[in-house]
Amino acid sequence: MFNRKTIMAAIAVAGIAAASPALAGDVLLTVTAAGDQFEYDLDALQELPKVEFTTSTIWTEGESSFTGVALSVLLAEAGIDSGSVMATAINDYAVEIPVDEIDENAPIIAYLQDGEVMSPRDKGPLWVIYPYDEDEKYQTETVYSRSIWQLDRIMGAK
């Protein structure tokens, strides 16, 4: 039988877990291409070449620094070099990104904002980010719509 103290403790722990960023070892991103599946936890993403830039966004106050891996690197690992990919969030929101509009440094799959892991409540743990302030081509409704947060899946064809 559970008493009030036990129930309150369980609720508190569950609330902390829901607000906390994913722990190391948890699969944060799955990339699928032609039947092959690649899974990345935070450590695996951090082992890939890092891209870092500072930019403002339409969703945050002022400028923030973002650290992550270039989407192009993940696609190259999966053998995706043409067509488009479908990027999907935890809530099943999905956007299509043409591969020919992805370059070596943009967009990135950000796993840090201002040096901190992002929680799902703060658009994390993964967020597709472009260097919006770098070029007007990144300041369009199309690019903003592709800036999917809470990213957890990418699907494409080889």
Q: How confident is the model over 117-134, as pLDDT tens digits?
A: 999 998 999 999 999 999
| pLDDT for position 86 | 97
Predicted local confidence at residue 74, as pLDDT = 96
Q: How confident is residue 146, by pLDDT bands cut at 50, 70 and 90?
A: very high
For residue 34, the model assigns a pLDDT of 86
For residue 46, the model assigns a pLDDT of 96
| Count of residues making up the chain | 158
Q: Whole-model pTM?
A: 0.83
- Quick: pLDDT tens for 32-43: 998 899 999 999
Percentage of the chain exceeding pLDDT 70: 84
**Residue that wins the pLDDT comparison between 10 and 139:** 139
More confident residue, 82 or 158: 82
| CB half-sphere exposure, 152, CA atoms < 13 A | 15
The reply to whether omega before 107 is within 30° of 0 (cis) is yes
Say which CATH superfamily domain 4-156 falls into.
Oxidoreductase, molybdopterin-binding domain (3.90.420.10)
Is residue 130 within 8 Å of residue 106, measured between CB atoms?
A: yes
Mean pLDDT to the nearest integer, 60-82: 96
Six-digit token string for 70: 């270039």
Where are the chain's structural domains?
4-156
Give the pLDDT of residue 157.
67
- Consecutive H or E run containing 143: helix 141-146
pLDDT above 50 (res 103): yes
Mean pLDDT of the chain: 87
> Is 18's pLDDT higher than 80?
no
